Chain A
Amino acid sequence: DQVLRITASNEEQVTLLKMLGEKTELQVDFWRDPTIPGHPADLRVPFSSLQAVKIFLESNGISYNIMIEDVQELLDEEKKTMMKSRRLERSTSTFDFASYHTIDEIYDWMDTLVDGHPSLVSKIQIGQSYENRPLYVLKFSTGGSNRPAIWLDTGIHSREWITQATGIWTANKIAKEYGHDPSITAILDSMDIFFEIVTNPDGFAFTHSSNRLWRKTRSINTGSSCVGVDPNRNWDAGFGGSGSSSNPCSETYRGPYAHSEREVKAIVDFIRGHGNVKSVISIHSYSQMLLYPYGYKTAPAPDHQELNELAKKAVSDLAAVYGTKYTYGSIVDTIYLADGTTVDWAYENGVKYSFTFELRDTGRYGFLLPSSQIIPTATETWPALLDIMVHVLEHPY
């Protein structure tokens, strides 16, 4: 079908046009009715009547041009766009950030985030879990080549559900605020952000299917009926000390050797391979703390002073939102001795700005934090994250 734009040049032609519309056998219809000479009329003509209509117009000297060559094509295009935006609408703006989700829901949502911000966000796979689940990382980048980067991870301990939920909200916030919030815009204009939201997918799936309080990976330990390794004791930094356990049945089992866990090795390889990661922020719950190295020894880290100042500022800005009080300091001073941790490894591998968050609460609900606290938690954590990222941006090394 085509749509013709017809311009009658006198009253007689206007009458002729109106008569054309009345010929039911032609099955034409005016999208814009003929009115007075000089004013265009738009006429949809089915394919079968095209030739007849054109001959009629030409033989009567009525000028016209083809406005729409193929109506069906336009309809198909529109349908596609509608379906796409309906899918998007169903997703990025109707995704329920205020509830906890399954791994499938989170992985689907990641795709919609990428679809909604294709020039900013991409999804990369850095490896596979023990049970062969993909390990996905969201990359936020405005271009460049191997720009200095910030690494964020949530959910390394699967029972800490507030962290994956905060991760989703935060990733969405980063995508939304680029080009609006001056801080995140300045950061992304010079740096990249890599965000792994489901860092321990096997454990996370297990918290949904079998044991809500599962912490570790789900790797099988030879010679033991107990499953799993504590992924935050498996890093090669002070590995094997008294801040971890050699017992496979323990929640802080360090694993047979450093980086034995695929989930950990994938990040190690990624950060080493990237070569330009300037900050690692690993997010846990609960206790309401902001921590920096070391966990495996009491000696203060060389950058202790700077990290402490930055933590102090971040915690203050977090408290300003809803009054939530955080303590801060090195891991060993503030929480307990822990070896083989993510941030100690990062710090000892050239990543100066290495921090761990312990999100809400302080024990009332613990791991079972009500979903009504997801958005408040993510909202208050955001300025603290920004403080760290801005500091990283402003202190290149």
Chain B
Amino acid sequence: DIDDVGRKYHLELVLENTLEKDSTVNCTAEVLYHLSNKNLAPDVHFTIDGELKNTDEADKIFYNRVKSLKKELVAENIPDSHGHVSPEMEPIHLLAWAASGYVIWQNSTENTNFHLAQIKHVKQVKRSDEYLEFDYMILLHEMVSQEIIPWQMTVLWHPQHGVQVTQDSRQPKHAQE
């Protein structure tokens, strides 16, 4: 606890590559939750002890594949009800996961625990520059309240420039329930 500032956590964690379970890397981080303005995202500082796997090859393949599509990519329900993700959609799923990490960070407090539950809908947005743009509608599961929160996010990606969430907004829960 830091008087008048907030609460700081020191973390030692191990990052595991979900695509290659044996590949792990140590990480230390400091997370500060602000006392005054609860709407401020927590401050995060981290150091990674080692190197993350190089994905240039796979990135290039995915980038070229999407760039060469005749029609904009559109998909829904990833994973489907049975937990399946088709191989073609796996990069779209992973991209959403990375992007939702940003959204989750921006909206976390000491009393929330978010996970990406599902991509409800994703639509590629045509761009004239080299970036790929996707408009996602995702469902976040918040563990403490058990709520399913629809969230819209616009994601930019480029093999050399990484992931960016340029716009995101929480959506109202459908009154259909």
Residues of A in contact with B (beta carbons under 8 Å apart): 99-100, 161, 207-208, 211-215, 225-228, 230, 249-252, 287, 336, 363-373
A207–B118 CA distance with the chains assembled, in angstroms: 14
Given contacts A213-B148, A250-B145, A336-B144, whether A366 and B117 have CB atoms under 8 Å apart is yes
- Interface residue? B147 (CB, 8 A): yes
Cα–Cα distance between A164 and B84 once the two chains are bound (Å): 18
Q: Is the CB of B147 within 8 A of A251?
A: yes
Interface residues of B in 89-136 (CB under 8 A from A): 115-118
Residue in contact with B147 in the complex, picked from A161, A250, A368, A369, CB distance below 8 Å: A250
CB distance from B133 to the nearest CB of A (A): 25
B146 sits at the interface (CB 8 A): yes
Majority secondary structure, B binding face: loop
Residue of A nearest to B115 (CB): A363
Given the known inter-chain contacts A363-B115, A370-B83, please indicate yes or no for A252 contacting B146, CB distance below 8 A.
yes
Q: How long is the Cα–Cα vector from A36 to B83 in the complex, in angstroms?
A: 70
With A250-B147, A366-B116, A372-B83 given, can you name 14 additional A-B contacts, CB distance below 8 Å? A99-B82, A212-B118, A213-B117, A215-B146, A225-B175, A228-B177, A249-B173, A252-B146, A336-B143, A366-B141, A367-B141, A368-B79, A370-B82, A371-B83
CA A364 to CA B83, docked complex, whole Å: 10
Once the chains bind, are A365 and B83 in contact (CB under 8 Å)? Answer: yes
Q: How far is the CA of A212 from the CA of B82 in the complex (A)?
A: 10
Q: A215, A227, A287, A370: which contacts B84 (Cβ < 8 A)?
A: A370
User: Which residues, 6 to 26 on B, are CB-close (under 8 Å) to A?
Assistant: 18
Determine if A364 and B18 form an interchain contact, defined as CB atoms under 8 angstroms apart: yes
Kindly list chain B residues whose C-beta atoms are within 8 Å of the C-beta of A367.
Answer: 117, 141
A12 to chain B, nearest CB (A): 76
Contacts of B175 in A (CB 8 A): 225-226
Find A214's partner among B83, B118, B177 (CB 8 Å cutoff): B177
Given A336-B144, A363-B115, the answer on whether A227 and B177 have CB atoms closer than 8 Å is yes
CB contacts (< 8 Å) of A363 on chain B: these are: 115
CA A371 to CA B144, docked complex, whole Å:
26
Which A residues touch B82, using CB under 8 A? 99-100, 368, 370-371
The complex places the Cα of A323 from the Cα of B116 at a distance, in Å, of 24
B139 within 8 A of A: yes
Measured in the bound complex, the distance between the Cα atoms of B82 and A167 in whole Å is 17
Residue B81 at the chain A interface, CB threshold 8 Å = yes
Chain A residues, Cβ within 8 Å of B139: 213
Complex contacts, A225 vs chain B, CB 8 Å? 175
4 A-B pairs with the lowest CB-CB distances in the bound complex, closest first: A370-B83, A363-B115, A251-B146, A368-B83
Chain A residues with Cβ under 8 A from B117's Cβ?
Answer: 213, 366-368
Between B144, B147, B177, the greatest number of chain A beta carbons within 10 A of the residue's beta carbon is seen for B177
